[in-house]
């Protein structure tokens, strides 16, 4: 048996809670085969002992099944990178992918179309309005939305050394797969390609000095999410949901994923939460009230805010403006400022 054959077997071992295998995510650092004994070195971000135990057991049982008498599994922390003050997991920061970024916040959801991109863009703008230096990174390889929602048609400059310069708009730094892929390129990336693309994006974008980098993720718990948490020690995640999805265990799934990889969940944003009639100011709860509070209590994470449904969001987006710029005085914009203030308090507390 040689190293390559062992690697093939390890491709059958999945990371707990994910569909991707440990080889394709580069978690297998090395394999040493010596007759009927084998030693596997894994690089794992999570500090959750259960995850490590499960990984160890899965590797052992797969290789013992292949007639190895002794199987030893060594788990080490990766040369992880992240913002200088980021990372609630205390991982070593030997190689820092984002040395100029202080806080990295991922905006995630279990389900599509709940308003992640809307929340990410407005949060970024709200933080900028509070005087912070902010970047917004659209990591949705499947359906990038930044070009549209921020009205960007230009292509990022490529600097010497193949570094990409983010596009500046509204005093923020913006980057999206959509800036590079164009509107009409077929988006057919499969797992390993997605991992590579995300890694390249984290490596090759030259951000300025930033207080916050907000990352807009695709829905679910897939390749982008796993690559991200493997590569960066995120400051935390914000989970977006709608009232009708709260019941679907959707939020719980998202929170679980981040907990598994030791990324703090900073809170939940309930979007399209209620409707305020523009004519008479009457506020109607479209779905049953109180779901967000209940869910946040149950999961023991903060409910950062409830964003109303507002038809102006569409008009703002058509103009390439987040609502927090298009109509500052709307209730929606005020709610985003309030959420930004809570995030500021949270990350400065933890720093």
Binding mask of the shown chain, residues 128 to 147, with x at each position contacting Mg ion by CB under 5 A? -----------------x--
Q: Rounded to whole angstroms, how far apart are CA atoms 291 and 287?
A: 9
Residues numbered 164-223 forming contacts with ligand ATP, rule: CB under 6 A: 219
Which one of Mg ion, ligand ATP, none interacts with residue 272, CB within 5 to 8 A by kind? ligand ATP
Using the contact rule CB under 6 A, the part of the chain among 30-38, 41-49, 110-118, 276-284 near ligand ATP is 110-118
Nearest CA-CA partner of 163 in 136, 200, 127:
200
Four-CA torsion 118, 209, 202, 229, nearest 10 degrees: -70
Alpha-helical (H) ranges within 112-190 are 116-129, 146-149, 177-181
Q: Which residues contact 259 (CB under 8 A, 6 or more apart)?
A: 48, 265
Shortest distance, position 274 Cβ to ligand ATP, whole Å = 10
Options 90, 112, 278, 290; binder of ligand ATP; rule CB under 6 A:
112
Options 45, 125, 262, 271; binder of ligand ATP; rule CB under 6 A:
271
Shortest distance, position 331 Cβ to ligand ATP, whole Å = 10
Shortest distance, position 270 Cβ to ligand ATP, whole Å = 10
Q: Any contact of residue 262 with ligand ATP (CB under 6 A)?
A: no
On whether the CB atoms of residues 306 and 312 are closer than 8 A, the answer is no
Options 87, 110, 115, 264; binder of ligand ATP; rule CB under 6 A:
115
Options 27, 80, 114, 172; binder of ligand ATP; rule CB under 6 A:
114
Q: Any contact of residue 268 with ligand ATP (CB under 6 A)?
A: no
Binding mask of the shown chain, residues 107 to 126, with x at each position contacting Mg ion by CB under 5 A? ---------xx---------
On whether the CB atoms of residues 272 and 335 are closer than 8 A, the answer is no
Q: Rounded to whole angstroms, how far apart are CA atoms 5 and 27?
A: 17
Q: Rounded to whole angstroms, how far apart are CA atoms 60 and 202?
A: 33
Options 109, 176, 263, 333; binder of ligand ATP; rule CB under 6 A:
109
On whether the CB atoms of residues 72 and 56 are closer than 8 A, the answer is no
Q: Rounded to whole angstroms, how far apart are CA atoms 317 and 151?
A: 8
Options 145, 235, 241, 333; binder of ligand ATP; rule CB under 6 A:
145
Q: Rounded to whole angstroms, how far apart are CA atoms 166 and 214?
A: 13
Q: Rounded to whole angstroms, how far apart are CA atoms 198 and 261?
A: 17
Which one of ligand ATP, Mg ion, none interacts with residue 301, CB within 5 to 8 A by kind? none
Query: Which of 75/323 has CB closer to ligand ATP?
Result: 323
Shortest distance, position 226 Cβ to ligand ATP, whole Å = 17
Q: Rounded to whole angstroms, how far apart are CA atoms 164 and 205?
A: 5
Nearest CA-CA partner of 327 in 340, 314, 338:
314
Shortest distance, position 282 Cβ to ligand ATP, whole Å = 17
Nearest CA-CA partner of 77 in 27, 7, 22:
27
Query: Which of 26/143 has CB closer to ligand ATP?
Result: 143
Q: Any contact of residue 118 with ligand ATP (CB under 6 A)?
A: yes
Query: Which of 97/240 has CB closer to ligand ATP?
Result: 240
Beta bridge partners of 131: none
Binding site for Mg ion (CB under 5 A): 116-117, 145
Give residues in contact with ligand ATP (CB under 6 A): 109, 112-118, 140, 143, 145, 219, 271-272, 307, 309-310, 313-314, 317
């Amino acid at each position: 048996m040689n190293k390559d054959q062992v690697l093939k077997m390890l491709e059958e071992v999945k990371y707990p809670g994910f569909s991707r295998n440990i080889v394709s995510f580069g978690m297998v650092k090395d394999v040493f085969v010596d007759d009927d004994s084998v030693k596997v070195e894994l690089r794992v971000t999570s500090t959750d002992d259960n995850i490590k135990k499960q990984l160890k057991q899965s590797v052992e049982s797969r290789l013992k099944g292949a007639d190895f008498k002794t199987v030893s599994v060594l788990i080490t922390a990766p040369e992880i990178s992240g913002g200088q003050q980021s990372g609630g997991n205390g991982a070593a920061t030997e190689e820092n992918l984002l040395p100029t970024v202080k806080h990295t916040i991922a905006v995630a959801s279990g389900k599509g179309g709940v308003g992640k991109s809307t929340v990410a863009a407005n949060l970024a703008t709200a933080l900028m309005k509070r005087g912070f230096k902010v970047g917004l990174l659209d990591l949705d390889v499947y359906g990038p939305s930044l070009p549209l929602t921020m009205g960007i048609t230009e292509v990022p400059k490529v600097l010497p050394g193949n570094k990409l310069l983010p596009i500046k708009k509204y005093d923020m730094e913006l980057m999206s797969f959509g800036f590079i892929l164009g509107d009409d390129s077929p988006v057919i990336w499969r797992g390993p390609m997605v991992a590579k693309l995300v890694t390249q994006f984290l490596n090759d974008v030259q951000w300025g000095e930033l207080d916050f980098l907000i990352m807009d993720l695709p829905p679910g718990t897939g390749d982008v999410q796993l690559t991200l948490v493997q590569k960066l020690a995120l400051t935390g995640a914000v989970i977006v949901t709608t009232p009708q999805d709260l019941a679907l265990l959707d939020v719980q799934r998202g929170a679980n994923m981040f907990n598994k990889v030791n990324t703090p969940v900073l809170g939940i944003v309930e979007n399209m939460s209620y409707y305020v009639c523009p004519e008479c100011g009457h506020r109607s709860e479209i779905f049953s009230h109180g779901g967000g509070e209940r869910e946040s209590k149950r999961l023991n994470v903060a409910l950062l805010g409830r964003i109303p449904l507002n038809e102006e969001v569409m008009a703002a987006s058509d103009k390439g403006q987040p609502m927090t710029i298009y109509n500052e005085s709307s209730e929606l914009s005020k709610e985003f400022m309030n959420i930004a203030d809570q995030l500021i308090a949270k990350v400065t507390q933890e720093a």
